[in-house]
Structure 1
Amino acid sequence: MQTGIARKMDGLGRIVIPAEMRRAMDIEPGDEVVIGFEDGAVILRSAGAACVFCGSASQVGGFRGRGVCSDCRDQLGA
């Protein structure tokens, strides 16, 4: 991670994502995001950017209205 901003978590486990990060990620109020855990880090990404089957963010394209990576599309025979 190249940059970081310290934030405190509230009593309900919520953390505010700074406006400049939301703008950089093109996240708007009401957008769905995916929160994951990888190599000891919490990962946040736009829900539309991940494969619905394996969670990969690499080479994701549309398949019947869902985001599916090229590997999973190949397995589906699409």
Structure 2
Amino acid sequence: MSKTTGVIRGFDKLGRFVIPSEMVKTLELDKDDKLEISCDGTTIYLRKYQPYCNFCGDVGDGLTEVMHKRICTNCMNEIIRTTAN
């Protein structure tokens, strides 16, 4: 569910816009956090970036990078199990 702030923002000369501080607080963003940006039609989605498994989508710290893709232990074990036969 989306939350409307009632704030309208425009773009500056470099094509940037500022996220309202209320939204930054609501999302509990820190200055070192990164945002993932995606779109669907005319809607832009911003969410706090968290690494995830490229196979199952699980989020966590136990991810390994293989050929530029992140994979969790469960998926890695499943791949090993299914390719060992």
TM over 0.5: yes
* Largest Rg, 1 or 2: 2
| 2:39 aligned counterpart, secondary structure | strand
Identical columns (%)? 24
Counterpart for residue 81 of structure 2: none
Separation in 1, partners of 2:64, 2:48: 16
- If the length of structure 1 is used for normalisation, what is the TM-score? 0.64
Residues 51, 39 of structure 1: CA spacing in aligned structure 2 closer, same or farther, 3 A cutoff? Answer: farther
| Residue identity in the other structure for 2:76 | L
**Is 1:27 aligned to 2:26, yes or no?**
no
CA drift at 1:39: 3.9
Contiguous gaps of at least 5 residues in structure 2:
79-85
Considering only aligned residues, what root-mean-square deviation do their CA atoms show, in Å?
Answer: 2.9
Separation in 1, partners of 2:46, 2:60: 19
| Residue identity in the other structure for 1:76 | M
Structure 2 matches for 1:1-78, cutoff 5 A? 1-4=2-5, 5-48=7-50, 51=52, 53=54, 60-64=59-63, 73=72, 74-77=74-77
Separation in 2, partners of 1:41, 1:52: 25
- If the length of structure 2 is used for normalisation, what is the TM-score? 0.60
Q: How many pairs are equivalent?
A: 70
Residues 65, 25 of structure 1: CA spacing in aligned structure 2 closer, same or farther, 3 A cutoff? Answer: farther
Separation in 1, partners of 2:19, 2:52: 23
| 2:3 aligned counterpart, secondary structure | coil
Runs of 4+ that moved beyond 6 A: none
